[in-house]
Chain A
Amino acid sequence: GAVVSQHPSWVICKSGTSVKIECRSLDFQATTMFWYRQFPKQSLMLMATSNEGSKATYEQGVEKDKFLINHASLTLSTLTVTSAHPEDSSFYICSARSPTVSYEQYFGPGTRLTVT
């Protein structure tokens, strides 16, 4: 149980285009999901907290107009990287908060974004 999927697993796009990444909780409902960014050989950095039916809460330094987050249902959150640039190339990981244990999160496998 407690499986989180991400789609796509990897994507290549050109500068200036937008890319959408989906995060789904497959066998449970997630009122809260999180989006992380991971640079090579570095830690996961929390970008934003996504709550179903309300606006996402962004961490300091994260541009909310560039990284659009939508959590329209209890099983789906999306991250859209708008007007992507090469510096946005990274590994993006989502997680969903456990419905039973508030401090536990279940992680997706990640999406590798490369902007050319």
Chain B
Amino acid sequence: GDSVTQMEGPVTLSEEAFLTINCTYTATGYPSLFWYVQYPGEGLQLLLKATKADDKGSNKGFEATYRKETTSFHLEKGSVQVSDSAVYFCALSDGAQKLVFGQGTRLTINP
């Protein structure tokens, strides 16, 4: 079945550092891809999405590009802030529009 694999955490960075969280997927069809973020004590929020190959999703300074050839959707941000500390989930939506999640990556940004 479909699956998502993302880099294990936790990841700890200093403020203004460059962030990459790797995500790769396995799917039989052409899924939509997502990054969700979960701040402490809150529900998952959609951070960005891409619905077809070569699409780039972006939001709040974060970017991810749907790479069909490498089945990847890596999350990047050029300069992280303390407020970016959260758990980040990569996910795909299959033909039945159900979400399949990666294991989550906890990100901590130190001032």
Contacts and interface: CB of A to CB of B under 8 A. Distances in A.
B: contact size bracket: 20 to 34
Nearest to A94: B43
Contacts of B99: 34, 44, 46, 95, 105
Contacts of A76: none
B32 A103 contact: yes
A107 B32 contact: no
A42 B101 CA distance: 10
A110 B46 contact: no
Nearest to A110: B43
Nearest to A4: B43
Contact residues of A: prevailing secondary structure: strand
A101 to B, nearest CB: 9
Given A43-B102, A44-B101, A46-B98, A109 B42 contact: yes
A107 B45 contact: yes
A109 B39 CA distance: 10
B97 A42 contact: no
B98 A44 contact: no
Given A93-B43, A97-B97, A105-B99, A44 B89 contact: yes
Contacts of A103: 32, 49, 51, 93, 97
A49 to B, nearest CB: 7
Given A42-B103, A49-B98, A105-B99, A93 B44 contact: yes
Interface of A: 4, 34, 41-46, 49, 93, 95, 97, 102-110
